[in-house]
Amino acid sequence: MRIVALFAFIATACSAQITPPPSGGGGGISGLTTNKIPKATSSTSVGDSAISDDGVNVNVVGRNLLVSTTVLGPYTLAQLNALTPPVTALAVVTDSANCTSQTIGQVQLCRYVSAGVWAATGGGASAAGSPNAIQVAGSGGVLADSGCTIDPTTHIQNCPPVGGAAGMHAMVQGTANTPPANTTGIQAPTSVPTAFFNTLWSAPTAGFVYSDGANPSVLLPRAIANADIPSSITRTIAVGTATLGTTLIGANACAAAVQPTASTGSLTTVASTDTITWTPNADISGVTGYGKAGTDGLIIYPFASAGAVNFTVCNGTGTGITPGAVSLNWKVIR
């Protein structure tokens, strides 16, 4: 393992100078390895130390570093000694599976379980997690997979709750928030005594959003049905125009009922309990049969039946009447 930081003081470790042999005398220094920092192996000999410098990294192999200063990088010795056991020496880690970890800031330390010696293992990052996984700080500050993922291209997150499946997202209850400027979003209500989910529709759909009340509840845009409207609210079922007949109506007789079609709404759900409101679309006071003359005596009788609107014209006089043309505007309300 490589330990890059913490070794500013190493430059003083090799202060002894080695005097090269006189020129022309042959020989030279032997027994040294390229990039290894030499050390005195005896009072008269020089050999390799455990420290190497390849021009990029300074490495220590198989040795402990005694901490004799009061500061280790940006972390004080007091901080390190507060660990259990205290950090009195840093060791090179060669068996990470036999270590327990603790982190101070961005420096992760690993302790040999058997020896209780702490070792610097790097910058606090754990081994690479699952592909596209969002990681969180786990025990000792080590990063671990959170169970959530994010697509690196679309930035779409998938974070199902425990027990949930892909595509499920949960929000905890909380206080109502004021959204920041130029933002939009959704939030959970302030109180959720019973956990539930809403399933969204699968394609763009016009209409009013309807919930079926199950858990999870399916949200479905659709037209408002009659059953959705409280009975206390008056609503219009159908609208249209009726054209009355112009054939002779005998004395004390009635013409066949006129059943118009609807121009708005539908007559399918019309029931006999519905109410019809109607009015002529013009002044009929001068129209034969409906006017003010003594010979006029036609009466219009509207009524609703299953799936239909009806207008019956009756002659209450003792003489037959051929009525003039009359049109009525009508509406079925409930």
The secondary structure of 156-183 as a DSSP string is -EE-PPTT--TT----------PPPTT-
Q: Which fold has domain 236-333?
A: Immunoglobulin-like (2.60.40)
d(CA 124, CA 38): 32
- Helical spans, DSSP H, in the chain: 77-81
**Residue 119's pLDDT is what?**
52
Every domain of the chain with CATH number 2.60.40 lies at 236-333
pTM, rounded to two decimals: 0.41
For the chain, the distance separating the N- and C-terminal CA atoms, rounded to the nearest angstrom, is 84
Q: Are 111 and 104 in contact (CB under 8 A)?
A: no
Provide the token pair at 254: 């009635």
Looking at residue 248, its pLDDT comes to: 97
Q: pLDDT at position 309, please?
A: 98
Q: Compute CA distances 289 → 282, 301, 310, whole Å.
A: 15, 14, 19
* DSSP-derived secondary structure for 62-77: S-EEE--SSEETTEEH
Q: Residue 252: left if φ>0, alpha if ψ -120 to 50, beta else—which one?
A: left
Question: What residues have CB less than 8 Å from 22, skipping those under 6 apart?
Answer: none
| Alpha-carbon gap, residue 38 to 51, rounded angstroms | 8
Rounded CA-CA distance 18/45 in Å is: 10
Q: What is the pLDDT of residue 167?
A: 73
Give me the residues of the chain with pLDDT under 50, please.
Answer: 1-18, 24-26, 64-74, 92-94, 96, 106, 112, 114, 121-127
Could you say which DSSP state residue 258 is in? B
Q: How many CB atoms lie within 10 A of CB 243?
A: 13
Rounded Cα–Cα distance for residues 323 and 300 (Å): 12
